[in-house]
Structure 1
Amino acid sequence: MAHEIQLHASRTSADMAEPLHESILPIQSNGEKPHKEKSKLALLPLVFLIYFEVSGGPYGSEQTVQAGGPLLAILGFVLFPFVWSIPEALITAELATALPGNGGFVLWTDRAFGPFPGSLMGSWKFLSGAINSAAYPALCADYIARAIPSISSGAPRVVTVTATTILLSFLNYTGLSVVGYTAMVLCAASLSPFFLMAAAGLPKLHPRRWGAIASDRDWRLFFNTLFWNLNFWDNASTLAGEVDRPQRTFPRALLAAGLLTSAAYLVPLLIGTAVLDVPYSSWDSGFYADAAGMIAGHWLKYWIEVGAVLSAIGLYEAQLSSAAFQLLGMADLGFLPKLFSLRSKWFDTPWVGIVTSSLISLGISFLTLDDIISSANFLYSLGMLLEIASFLWLRRKEPRLKRPFRVPLRKPWLIFMCALPSAFLIYVMTLASWRVFAVSGGLTLFGCGLYFSMELCKKKGCLMFGTLGEMVGEMEEEEEEEVKPTFRNSRPASM
């Protein structure tokens, strides 16, 4: 297996004091052929991949109104990005540009704290992503069932979810660039009916309805739905090794995706809550289709139902891409067997990761949407707490690490910036039911067991692992012999 390793070409005497492994970064694993530069992901498709990693449109956000009423729902989508989304995006921009390799947050945690936390981070984030991906075929089936009621339950629903998962996984297999440009088309097609709904609803607005609050508030449902609709900003970092000039591209893509996501949530929310006078219990998953029918007619209702299906396709494709490339990055680091770094000869995609992620998602896709959201949120929260700690620790541990994008805050303000989302993460975790605690605890034990079992397999030689870790170790030993005398004998000119 060929590995492309990024080396800093020039190192000053001060830089030479840093260990060699701090200047070696696995960019990509290409199976048996070199990576083709023409397949690099450009800015525009990356924007829409991030958009679908996080949002995909307002579909599935209706329950914030059901849980808290219009005022709390609007405030949630206005204020929550400042508490959560912006700090997460800033952390992602800094670390993805400083360490632009496949694996993303796994690389960051491994570099900050070592292999065991890095592997555990990979387990948490991968499982949360797989659980999250499982929601999209289910959500797609829910919207289709509004037009074809016979597939709402039983064998027809099982067949619909299974067929959708297989077809979407094959699309992902055809290539990351195909997925990125497909996401652009899906975004335009899925968002356009909401702007038509807004245009039709403007003459019927009653702004006073925005100030209403539900008398029977469900905070668990409110925060879980809000969190689920605005997280996963860091997922695209797992495929940073596939991005063209990631140091420039990632910050711009995150900003553009953030603006698009905010507009996609707020425009239909403001219109729907101000125009319609319906019980808040009606605002269940999929209600936007009914809202469009009430505002503009059945033709727009059906268009939004089609748009929901298209959005679910984009969401699944983006999540599956990040999960597959995360497994590839973990194989590069030696956390998983070499098998996971294999790429398709035709499309250069990590096909083993795609198959593995798809099977896991399919296996849990028949749970209720609430169970899926709660489990994904809890595991993701564990991973994000570790990711935030990695970000702060790398600032302290490696102040001279080249950061093409750097969060422009000093340490006290950085800690404050990270404290707000950390407090929210802990709060969301306390809202989990005993079932979610049990499932998350079991999956965490699975992640621990995975790391130690992989270490045992390395010692026993029963599985093949990538040689990148061994290459880094050998180069560190060689560099140590050269660096130490050079560093000791060198003095600044001023001395």
Structure 2
Amino acid sequence: MQKLTSTASRQASIAMGEYDGVEYVSVGEVHSPRIENNNLRKVSVLPLVFLIFYEVSGGPFGVEDSVQAAGPLLALIGFLIFPLIWSVPEALITAEMGTMFPENGGYVVWVSSALGPFWGFQQGWMKWLSGVIDNALYPVLFLDYLKSGIPALGGGFPRIIAVLALTVILTYLNYRGLTIVGWVAVLLGIFSILPFVVLGFVAIPKYEPSRWLVVDIHNVDWNLYLNTLFWNLNYWDSISTLAGEVQNPKKTLPRALFYALILVVLGYFFPLLFGTGAVPLNRDAWTDGYFSDIAKIVGGVWLRWWIQGAAAMSNMGMFVAEMSSDSFQLLGMAERGMLPEFFAKRSRYGTPLIGILFSASGVVLLSWLSFQEIVAAENFLYCFGMILEFIAFIWLRVKRPAASRPYKIPIGTVGAVLMCIPPTILICVVLFFSSLKVFIISVVSIVIGFVMHPCLTYVEKKRWLKFSVNSHLSDLHGANQESAGSLID
């Protein structure tokens, strides 16, 4: 028999350990069983590796600014050292927390479990907005790489139509299913990496090792340098928002994160090594798309076209991977009762229909921002979200030491705190260098999230929209908290 209650009373029951696995609905509403996705195809290791690859990287396109900002030596060192400070801790935390809570929603669920539903909602809002801002960049970059061959795409009405058409096509790929997206990511990833392997061999006669050691410490644009490193090496946690769609996530997720980490670091370092060593240094020339110029100098027009095509395809891969993460996050939040139930609606392909539509609309609305504004704004919001994740990670280590963790970082509580200190310091540095415009936009966005949560609570209280919790999910706050990680294989 179903109990009739509001989310507030339901959460109170959960907190007292009285939650009985029943999905609650409001008075006067008929409950229809949620269609589960158990019979849908799950994502295996190889597609998952390339989904992570595209959510984080997509290849070395966009790293050129690091050379312009700081020169070859600091750019090369940055893409070796920065992963140790930022990428490795974030990937490890994602592996531990993602296997502890192997469900859609990812970091939203982690923060909700540790800090409560209010901060879980704020995490979801900031990370979703950051992801949509990030995704608004890729159709624009795709056209930027093609406009040299098709000048009409450089601006005006044809460019607007092209952005809209590209967004619709890539959104449809997401609608058709995560398995398709995963294998598309594999094919695009191979196509994006191969030309740089060829570039590395073709450029061998032109290498001059002394070019790699060039540095001018007094002429470094630290803001551009740090934002470029940060933008190219974050979003490891994004894959957690679709953990419920992964085949045996307790084993697959940590393994895929490990392989993807190696692929991303090598995919940045070696193209930078090839490019800076093969041509004379001109820092001003190192902007987006400069790898295609290097390819022409080293190998000819055919290699330039290959890298331009790979860059365009890479942006498509990053778009579909990011949209998958953003839309499944909204689905996961709805299944936890944080958003109206219609966000949990799946298409016949098992994809989050409403989440995809919302994410695509956000991309179209934000596509007018400039590249630098997009990078800086998303970094600012992302930083706040990561701070909440670090707090949740440490808090759950302290408060739930006996909870099931199929993958656990082999360090104690003190080690967990120490591991989070360097990336937290880095976050503070990135925030310090943010411009006033980006600061104001980001703060306004955060305030909107603070207002939105009580508004949704009021909407639920008035029963204007239906909210419900999926009964198949783990109890985050009640008696079953110590077995939260044992539910989904």
Q: Same fold (TM over 0.5)?
A: yes
The residue identity in structure 1 corresponding to 2:186 is M
How far, CA to CA, are the matches of 1:106 and 1:476 in structure 2? 18
Partners of 2:403 and 2:449 in 1: CA distance: 29
> Residue 409 of structure 1 aligns to which amino acid in structure 2?
I
Give 1:147 shift.
2.1
Report the alpha carbon displacement of residue 470 of structure 1 after superposing the two structures with TM.
12
Q: Which amino acid letter does the alignment assign opposite residue 317 of structure 2? A: G
For residues 426 and 404 of structure 1, what CA distance do their matches in structure 2 show?
32
Does the 8 Å CA contact 1:238/1:322 hold for their aligned counterparts?
yes
Match of 1:186 among 174, 179, 188: 188
2:20 and 2:442 map into 1 onto residues whose CA distance is: 35
1:344 maps to a residue whose letter is S
In structure 2, the CA distance between the partners of 1:472 and 1:77, relative to structure 1 (3 Å rule), is closer
Of stretches 404-413 and 392-401 in structure 1, the one that deviates more from structure 2 is: 404-413
Q: Deviations over 1:237-280 (max 9, x none)?
A: 00001111111001100000011111111111001101111410
TM-superposed CA distance for 1:141, in Å, is: 1.3
2:305 maps to which of 287, 302, 306: 302
Q: Alpha-carbon deviations, 1:69-113, whole Å to 9, x = none? A: 001100110000000000000000000001101000000000001
Check 1:21–1:167 CA distance in 2 against 1; reply closer, same or farther (3 A cut).
Answer: farther
Of the three residues 167, 170, 173, the one matched with 1:168 is: 170
For residues 396-411 of structure 1, the aligned pairs below 5 Å read 396-411=398-413
Q: Is this contact kept in 2: 1:25–1:99, CA < 8 A?
A: no
Structure-1 residue corresponding to 2:336: 333
Q: Does 406-415 or 70-79 show the bigger shift? A: 406-415
- What residue is the counterpart of 2:236 in the other structure? 233
Deviation digits for residues 292-316 of structure 1, max 9, x if unmatched? 1111001110111110111001100
* 1:130 maps to 2:132: yes
Q: Does 1:243 align with 2:246?
A: yes
Give the equivalent residue in structure 2 for 1:288: 291
Q: 1:464 and 2:472 equivalent? A: no
**Which residue number corresponds to residue 146 of structure 2?**
144
Two-structure CA RMSD over aligned residues (Å): 2.3
**Superposed displacement of residue 20, structure 1:** 4.3
1:279 equivalent in structure 2: 282
CA distance in 2, matches of 1:354, 1:136: 16
Report the AA paired with residue 34 of structure 1.
E
Q: Is the contact between residue 333 and residue 469 of structure 1 (CA under 8 Å) also seen in structure 2?
A: no
- When structure 1 is superposed on structure 2, of 189-198 and 227-236 the one drifting more is 189-198
Are residues 470 and 251 of structure 1, via their aligned partners in 2, closer, same or farther at CA, if it must alter by over 3 Å?
closer
The separation in 2 between residues aligned to 1:84 and 1:36, in whole angstroms, is: 35
Instruction: Find the counterpart in structure 2 of residue 15 from structure 1.
Output: none
Matching residue within 56, 63, 71 for 2:65: 63
TM-score, structure 2 normalization: 0.90
- Is the 2:383–2:427 contact (alpha carbons within 8 Å) kept by the matching residues of 1? yes
Instruction: Describe the shift of the 1:22–1:121 C-alpha distance in structure 2 as closer, same or farther (beyond 3 A).
Output: farther
The answer to whether the 8 A contact 2:211-2:281 is kept is no
- In the TM superposition, what is the alpha-carbon distance from 1:414 to its structure 2 partner? 1.5
Q: 1:172 to 1:453 in 2, by over 3 A?
A: same
Q: Secondary structure at the match of 1:100?
A: coil
Unaligned stretches of 5+ residues in structure 2? 1-14, 24-31, 482-489
State the match for 1:218 in structure 2.
221
2:223, 2:382 → 1: CA distance?
Answer: 16
Shift in Å at residue 216 of structure 1?
A: 2.8
Once residues 473 and 179 of structure 2 are traced to their aligned partners in structure 1, the CA distance between those partners, rounded to angstroms, is 31
Shift of residue 472, structure 1, vs aligned partner? 8.3
Whether contact under 8 Å (1:130, 1:360) holds in the other structure is yes
**TM-score normalized by structure 1?**
0.89
Cα offset, 1:476, TM superposition: 5.9
- Read off the aligned partner of 1:108 and give its amino acid letter: W
Question: Are 1:328 and 1:350, in contact at CA under 8 Å, matched by a contact in 2?
Answer: yes
Q: Quick check: 1:31–1:342 contact (8 Å CA) kept in 2? A: no
The match for 1:10 is none
Provide structure 1 residue ranges, at least 5 long, that are not aligned to the other structure.
1-17, 481-495
Q: After superposition, where does 1:315-394 map in structure 2 within 5 Å?
A: 315-345=318-348, 347-394=349-396
Q: Is the 8 A contact 1:21 1:472 kept in 2?
A: no
- Checking the alignment, whether the CA contact within 8 Å between 1:83 and 1:420 is kept in structure 2 is yes
Which letter maps to 1:101? E
Q: Which amino acid aligns with 1:131?
A: I
Match of 1:198 in 2: 200
Distance 1:51 1:69, change over 3 A: same
Judge which range, 32-41 or 354-363, deviates more. 32-41
Deviations 1:383-440 (A, max 9, x none): 0000000000000010110001101012222111100001101110111111111111
Counterpart amino acid of residue 402 in structure 1? S
Partner residue in 2 for 1:12: none
State how far apart, in whole Å, the 2-side matches of 1:386 and 1:47 are.
25
Q: How far has the Cα of 1:33 moved from its partner? A: 2.2
Alpha-carbon shift at residue 22 of structure 1 (Å): 11
| Aligned equivalents of 1:23, 1:85: Cα separation in 2 | 39
Amino acid paired to 2:265:
S
Paired position in structure 1 for 2:485: none
Q: For residues 456-477 of structure 1, what are the alpha-carbon distances to aligned partners after superposition, in whole Å with 9 as ceiling and x for unaligned?
A: 011100111124489989x969
In structure 1, distance between residues paired with 2:309 and 2:198? 14
Distance across 2 between alignment mates of 1:433 and 1:112: 32
